[in-house]
Amino acid sequence: MTDTYTRLVSKGPGRDVAKKLGLPQPAALRRYEPRQPLPAGPVLVIGASAGADDLAGELLDWDVEVRRHAVAKERVGAIVLVLDDLQSPADLEQPVLTAGPALRELAPNGRVVTISRAPDGGRPAAAAARQGVDGLLRSVAKELWAGATGNGIVLTEGVSATAPSVLGALRFFLSGRSAFVDGQFLRVGSPSGSLPAVPDAPLTGKVAVVTGAARGIGASIARTLHRDGATVVAVDIPAAGDHLAEVANGIRGTALQLDVTREDAGQRIIDHAVSRHGRLDIMVHNAGITRDKLLVNMDHGRWSSVIGVNLEAQLRINEALLASGHFRSAPRIVSVASTSGIAGNRGQTNYAASKAGVIGMVRATAPLLAEYGGSINAVAPGFIETEMTARMPFAPREIARRLNSLQQGGRPEDVAEAIAFLASDAAGGISGQVLRVCGQNLVGA
């Protein structure tokens, strides 16, 4: 759907009027294109640890211009703040205050990325400093401008600053793939994972299943996974058969007409993928419905249908996958949750409960996949421009669009890019996590 307001204030008289009145001025976001440079300019790596030195060396291997000290009046495409050796709150001051002035030279659509350690156990002073990075990064993200974003990578014990999934997450955050991801953290829980030989085709040789693939976000996920090299099985209900066939044919995949709430849905998905494509590597749970009502007016039909499609179907399908010998080679599961499941939303007790339930399912399932080198994560979209949001009344729609740090709605491809990253082996050390794709929503969470 077209964001008319953003178009009007992006240039000419509309831009001048918006500036004078102090109205939001959303920037055109730099989204992913093949063979696109990671950041739009040099990367400034700030930090005195061995991890900072090693990371700078890795960036040089990516043919990225690296600066270890700011150069006066030089525009930078990104600032990477390496804080992996914090032992007390006093350790924050020098690197953070070094980064502050450098922000003035951050290019439009630039990136700020922190790399820090989890505040798990240990000394209270170290835990305080490491947790402080959370508030620091989220605040910086709200101070950026012109489409720039700030995100963080959190290392757990035994994970180095150059572990494969740390580098994978850094590449994702620096690139146009993360255009609508802002103020978020990814926790790398193990040193596993591997970087692709061809960065623009990280899913080559993989077979992926996407539910709810006939239109909207699901169709975008299917197309993005195909673009990244995967063979895709597109799944949706029989009533959406024509749209489903169009999506599947467009990406040279196969279509499976299936109600995901069927008891045998998981086995039918496995049988189709293996019989048609010989394997199953990636499962993307996107199918979902809304049946909004205030709780005072909620009935059995609205409640049970939303819980059934959005949550119970995923649980049953995952049970079948975990029991199958065909889902054993570094399998990946990515579920679509929602910011409603994190912050709640008026009139959506059923939907919010189902999406919060997805987050709980993801966290509990992660250890079950670990023995196979697998992972499961969730992506939680905020306001995304879809057919559903296009039907919202004008005023609530405009308010929802502006209530994030980027002051605009996201696109279906923004959700798809995050899912494609989490489905890749570059994210193999990331599991049980929830990545919000919401432009840093300013309300609730």
Contact criterion met (CB below 8 Å) for 152 and 84: no
CA gap 383, 391 in Å, rounded = 13
Where in 14-60 does DSSP place strands (E)? 43-46
Q: Which helix (H) or strand (E) holds 377?
A: strand 375-381
Give the count of alpha carbons within 13 A of 396, CB side only: 7
Distance CA 74, CA 97 (A): 18
Cβ pair 192, 390 in contact under 8 A:
no
Rounded Cα distance between 364 and 174, Å, is 30
Q: How far apart are CA 373 and CA 416, in angstroms?
A: 23
Name the residue among 291, 382, 293, 280 with its Cα closest to residue 333: 280
Given the residues 5, 32, 351, 372, the one annotated as active site: 351
Q: Name every residue whose Cβ is closer than 8 Å to that of residue 46 and which is 6 or more positions away in sequence.
A: 52, 79, 80, 81, 82, 95, 98, 99, 102
Q: How far is residue 12's CA from residue 17's CA, in Å, rounded to a whole number?
A: 9
The H or E element that residue 211 is part of is: strand 207-211
Give the separation between CA 80 and CA 365, rounded to whole angstroms. 32
Which tokens belong to 139? 């605040």
CA proximity to 237, closest of 211, 216, 219 = 211
Active site residue 32: no
Q: Starting from the edge strand earliest in sequence, which strands make up the sheet with 332-336, in order? A: 254-257, 231-236, 207-211, 282-285, 332-336, 375-381, 434-437
Instruction: List, edge to edge, every strand of the sheet that includes 43-46.
Output: 66-67, 43-46, 76-83, 106-117, 149-155, 185-188
DSSP conformation letters of 426-438:
GGTT--S-EEEES
The catalytic residue positions are: 351
